[in-house]
Structure 1
Amino acid sequence: MQVFFEKRNIFQGIIAYVKGFENLMNVLPTVVRHSIRSLMELQEDVLIILDKMLYIYHYFFIVYIFWFFCRFFLIIMWF
């Protein structure tokens, strides 16, 4: 009798898991649709932030290249 109840509990757990997965699959397209809509609304702000980040990165890259050439010419002039 105990084995029957254990198997029944396992099957109930599997059925609950499958039902939960079905509910997740039903809800998931709505979540994706809302997140895409939110991303489209935030797109302009994100592009502005990325533009500023790229500008700052470009500035540091120019400074780094300038520093590299200064060291290079100092080493050459030293010899």
Structure 2
Amino acid sequence: MNQEQFAAIMPYISADLVEMIAKKKSISENDAITKLYNSELYAILEQEDTKVWQYSTDMLYSLLEQEEKTGKIEFPDV
């Protein structure tokens, strides 16, 4: 995937994840955006070559939860 294609899909991935964070944590979308953008997961997600953007929204949320609880992210073997 080239950088232009990646840049085009990232807003959709982020929006889905923000919506899930807001719903599951009962927080505002703005707070969910802040939570996501300040996470290590988002820093990794922004890098196309990590391929983390291919994970489902549920998986990304699970990884974010793991980061919040343990302070680190352990990616599944896929």
TM-score relative to the length of structure 2: 0.30
Larger RCO: 1 or 2 (CA < 8 Å, sep 6+): 2
Select the structure of larger CA radius of gyration.
1
Which protein has the bigger helix share? 1
